[in-house]
Chains A and B, each alone.
With several copies, the nearest count.
Chain A
Amino acid sequence: MRDPGARASSTPLVGGSAEPTLRDLSAPGRQAWSLPDLDVPRRNLDLPEMADAPPALPEVAERDLVAHFTRLAHRNFGVDLGAYPLGSCTMKYNPKVCDWAAELPGFRDLHPSAPAQLTQGILEAVVEAERILCELTGMSRASFQPPAGAAGELTGLLIMRAYHQEKGHPRHKVVIPDASHGTNPASVTLAGYEAVSVPSNAKGMVDIDALRAVVDEDTAGLMLTNPNTLGLFEEDIEVIAQIIHEVDGLVYYDGANLNAILGVVRPGDMGFDIVHSNLHKTFATPHGGGGPGSGPVAVVERLIQYLPGPIPTPAGDGAIVWEQPAASIGRVHGNHGNMLVVVRALTYMLALGGPGLERVAQRSVLNARYLEHLVGKEYAIPYTAPCMHEFVASAENLKKETGIRAMDVAKALPDYGFHAPTVYFPLVVDEALMLEPTETESPETVEALAKALLEIADVARQDPEYLHDAPHHTPVSRLDDAGAARSPVLTWFMEDSQ
């Protein structure tokens, strides 16, 4: 089906048809590109491996291109449009001054191979961001090469491996709680380790006895996030760290939930040895529809030598130079990591300063606690410990009573103007709804969100069918995910072979 033309009918504002793809909009001879004529004499170079024809890209005019992507933007929710209480993801408001910073030509148009002498400004930004990050996490030094949290995890695990290798005890197991994020076990495998799962106890925390049972001399270390994925502070954290340290294992902090504890308690002070931070969560760099992020890894003193490098380091004369850690695990990114994300994060850190960063923790917890209080009567909170910046509620009772599941509740929220929460994670809670309002939402927004959740429960009792079909006010309704996976259509070339 070719449907060219720049109708606006795909915008939610004025209609509901699907937006054609660029290929549908393409017509031979249309053109958006514009380049000066070649200003050197054109020579016949007779190069090998030349293609007969250019690639089969669409041909569209600038006008149609702009309309297409503008309409697609109108089919997408973002933090700028409203609250996004997606648990574990810390979808807070991203200040516009950080956009300004990342657009500065001095950063944006800089080639990564320009030598340190010519790039002192951005190196200073990295050094400053490293200092603040280490102060907040209680670590000694950090590398900004890892471009996301998962890359940080892999990096941390490779540091663990290098540590044990150097000690002459290569080990094989890494312990992770059953409630951990999927990237944790996946990183463990990628790093060549075996993932050993440890269950949570009735309080939603690591079961200390179970932990003791799995930890031995073959344990390279433990990965943990605290507050954990249930939004609870692991109260026995020091005992846990001690158990691992007793076998000379290392304790890894998955920093996805750092938001809750900024300036309150530090991973380093709790006994962690390696910490990754998600700048795209805690430090307000926008998530970009799935990325880019930045997952710097910070370590305690004795692990500095293993960090990926080189790392910008102030030399005696004040100039910043690139320094390679003595026993570096090697490179984990093609260049220096997602540097412009670091610039955004630094802008945010400098704006907030110490007091502002502490307020982040306070108010993210305040908002979560408040939301939990407001919805707790309707959606059971499976654990009794007070939540931190997020909490997991269960729709299990609602399901028993009405057949309405956590997924249905989530799908109904957009009709009330909110993004959905995370559902069915962590796996230890049935019909889990994981809610994280973040500190940038006002009390009234939290109240409106609570009201919507309570109303949905009412509707579930009165008209469950309506909720089965929710959402009703979005550009598309529920999609056939099973069909998509059964006969995948991943590119428009595959459409043709359908």
Chain B
Amino acid sequence: MDFTPHSDADVTRMLGILSLERPEDLFSHIPEHARLDGALDLPTPLSEPEVMARIGGMSARNTAGLTCFAGGGIYDHYLPPVVRALTMRPEFVTSYTPYQSEVSQGVLQVLYEFQSMVAAITGLPIANASLYDGPTAGLEAVNLAVAATRRSEVWVSRGLNPHTREVIETFAHARDLTVIEHPIVGGRTAWAHDAPGEPAAMVFGQPNYLGVIEDYDEAVALAHDKGALAIAAVDPIMLGTLRSPGAAGCDVAFAEGQPLGNPMSFGGPVVGLFAVTEKLMRRVPGRLSGRTVDRFGRTGYTLTLRTREQDIRREKASSNICTNQTLNAVAAAIHLSWLGPNGIRETANQSIQKAHYLAKRIEQIKAVHIGVDSAFAREFPVLLPLDPDEVVLAMAERGYLAGIPLPHHYPDLPGGLLVAVTEQRTKEDLDGYATALEEVIADA
């Protein structure tokens, strides 16, 4: 296939006008010895049906059809066709970052509404127009805290998503930041209240990675006591029923926004949500869409507070982010408006109810235990008498993606499997899962 419109005659005509002979002449000013002389080892072109057969074959060799009980930030929530249809409008899909506001009012207004709805669910007044994903949003939160406090120590809960911790580590390493991990006990963070040091931030998951609901007041009070920013990593769907980080007094909230309007997509593209208090507004990383007026006084939207950004501020920018995850933010905005206050609450409550139903079922399996003794929301660790990696493969044969094996990140939970439930799982799925798990364990 070829997506250039030029016919051979077109090329000849254009070259002629440019007083060139052959297409190669376009590159004659490039030092000759640098230029490629032999052909590269690249694939032969395919026709469209051939490409489709090839890529379709790759798609078929993934077991996306398994009934999904894996979570860890990426959840299998119901994604209505209407959200998908609107998100994929070519005007949203094929436009660039809305620098040219007069012809980008669509994207700019959706981003303004996205910011507003992220503010609504987080209970914080300012939200940006998206970051790459939850974990990199965590990095930006830490970076913001470091800049705002001029400190270089970061306290993180071991209950924070391990991938978020790893991303923070990667960054901290380069910037000579000290990251102190606080343990989890019985599923909840046991903050070392009198640990020494001057943390820039205290970062925790709410619910945390094991699904457990943390104590907001303790964390926020401690953070503020230490002069640190309280930073919560939240599950956006759970905000349908849980107290918001803003209401709890957090300074910054970030989230993996995938469950809002985005398919699981093997983990990307998804979307990072990021919200802060008004005080931190000018430190926010990434784009902000703001409301203003045109010269006739008509309401319009524009990218604003641009002096925080790399293209204006260069090495002094609050972040290096340029391309973000706008289309995923558009999806999130559309999904949030589809859900509304009652839809998001019902989704959250059903997920929680079903998780607890499943936990009760699983508890009855011999030699299997729930791995936390604190209140959890829609996700929980199961302790198995077998290697959870093996269990996942065995459960896949029975049609289930059983969860995320925990030992890789929590060696102290050797038989741990993290099980997530969404409103999409029917009673039949839940019962079937428990039965299959029982069989797998009995078969071992």
Query: Touching in the complex, A and B, CB below 8 A?
Result: yes
Q: Is B195 an interface residue (CB 8 A)?
A: no
Q: Is A380 an interface residue (CB 8 A)?
A: no
Are B132 and A493 in contact, with the CB atoms below 8 A?
no
Are A135 and B59 in contact, with the CB atoms below 8 A?
no
Given known contacts A62-B3, A107-B62, A265-B30, is B94 in contact with A50 (CB within 8 Å)?
Answer: no
Q: Is A202 an interface residue (CB 8 A)?
A: no
Are B241 and A97 in contact, with the CB atoms below 8 A?
no
Are B126 and A269 in contact, with the CB atoms below 8 A?
no
Are B321 and A148 in contact, with the CB atoms below 8 A?
yes
Q: Complex: how many Å from CA A40 to CA B268?
A: 32
Given known contacts A54-B342, A263-B36, is B43 in contact with A349 (CB within 8 Å)?
Answer: yes
Q: Complex: how many Å from CA A27 to CA B35?
A: 33
Q: Which of A21, A33, A493 contacts B340 (CB 8 A)?
A: A33
A468 CB to closest chain B CB (Å) equals 10
Binds B, one of A398-406, A459-467, A483-491: A483-491
B388 CB to closest chain A CB (Å) equals 11
Are A35 and B49 in contact, with the CB atoms below 8 A?
yes
Query: Which of B43, B133, B298 has the largest count of A CB atoms less than 10 A from its CB?
Result: B43
Q: Is B277 an interface residue (CB 8 A)?
A: no
Size band of the interface chain A makes with B: 35 or more
With CB as the reference atom, state the residue of chain B lying closest to A14: B103
With CB as the reference atom, state the residue of chain A lying closest to B140: A190
Q: Is A291 an interface residue (CB 8 A)?
A: yes
Q: Is B432 an interface residue (CB 8 A)?
A: no
With CB as the reference atom, state the residue of chain A lying closest to B358: A40
Chain A residues, CB < 8 A from B56:
104
A146 CB to closest chain B CB (Å) equals 9
Are B109 and A75 in contact, with the CB atoms below 8 A?
yes
A253 CB to closest chain B CB (Å) equals 13
Are A288 and B327 in contact, with the CB atoms below 8 A?
yes
A103 CB to closest chain B CB (Å) equals 8
Q: Is B216 an interface residue (CB 8 A)?
A: yes
Q: Is B250 an interface residue (CB 8 A)?
A: no
Are B136 and A334 in contact, with the CB atoms below 8 A?
yes
Q: Is A303 an interface residue (CB 8 A)?
A: no
Q: Is A43 an interface residue (CB 8 A)?
A: yes
Q: Is A335 an interface residue (CB 8 A)?
A: yes
Are A60 and B337 in contact, with the CB atoms below 8 A?
yes
Are A49 and B216 in contact, with the CB atoms below 8 A?
yes
Q: Complex: how many Å from CA A104 to CA B61?
A: 12
B42-83 interface code vs A (CB 8 A; 1 in, 0 out): 111111111110111111111111101010111010101110
Given known contacts A351-B1, A369-B18, A491-B125, is B70 in contact with A475 (CB within 8 Å)?
Answer: no
Are B311 and A107 in contact, with the CB atoms below 8 A?
no
Segment 187-221 of A: residues with Cβ below 8 Å from B: 187-192, 195
Q: Which of B51, B214, B423, B426 contacts A351 (CB 8 A)?
A: B51
Query: Which of A190, A349, A443 has the largest count of B CB atoms less than 10 A from its CB?
Result: A190
Are A291 and B63 in contact, with the CB atoms below 8 A?
no
Given known contacts A115-B393, A483-B292, is B7 in contact with A27 (CB within 8 Å)?
Answer: yes
Total contacts A-B at CB 8 Å: 734
Given known contacts A45-B356, A70-B90, is B59 in contact with A106 (CB within 8 Å)?
Answer: yes
Are B174 and A158 in contact, with the CB atoms below 8 A?
yes
Q: Is A331 an interface residue (CB 8 A)?
A: yes
With CB as the reference atom, state the residue of chain A lying closest to B89: A73
Q: Is A284 an interface residue (CB 8 A)?
A: yes
Q: Complex: how many Å from CA A192 to CA B74?
A: 31
A441 CB to closest chain B CB (Å) equals 7
Q: Is A314 an interface residue (CB 8 A)?
A: no
With CB as the reference atom, state the residue of chain A lying closest to B11: A366
Are A28 and B9 in contact, with the CB atoms below 8 A?
yes
Are B70 and A33 in contact, with the CB atoms below 8 A?
no
Q: Is A108 an interface residue (CB 8 A)?
A: yes
Q: Which of A61, A121, A292, A370 contacts B269 (CB 8 A)?
A: A292
Q: Complex: how many Å from CA A161 to CA B102?
A: 42
Are A108 and B64 in contact, with the CB atoms below 8 A?
yes
Q: Is A356 an interface residue (CB 8 A)?
A: yes
Q: Complex: how many Å from CA A286 to CA B316?
A: 29
A66-105 interface code vs B (CB 8 A; 1 in, 0 out): 1011101111111111001010010111111101110011
Are B14 and A370 in contact, with the CB atoms below 8 A?
yes
Q: Complex: how many Å from CA A54 to CA B244?
A: 10
Starting from the known contacts A39-B427, A97-B51, 13 additional A-B residue pairs (CB-CB under 8 Å) come to A33-B342, A47-B352, A49-B242, A54-B344, A62-B338, A96-B85, A121-B57, A132-B42, A150-B320, A185-B314, A290-B96, A290-B129, A350-B54
Pairs across A and B, CB under 8 Å, 22 listed:
A32-B339, A35-B78, A49-B216, A51-B244, A57-B339, A101-B55, A104-B56, A110-B265, A182-B310, A289-B98, A290-B97, A290-B327, A291-B325, A330-B170, A333-B267, A335-B266, A340-B266, A357-B42, A370-B14, A439-B4, A475-B105, A479-B294
What 4 pairs between A and B have smallest CB-CB spacing? Answer: A335-B267, A29-B7, A112-B267, A33-B343
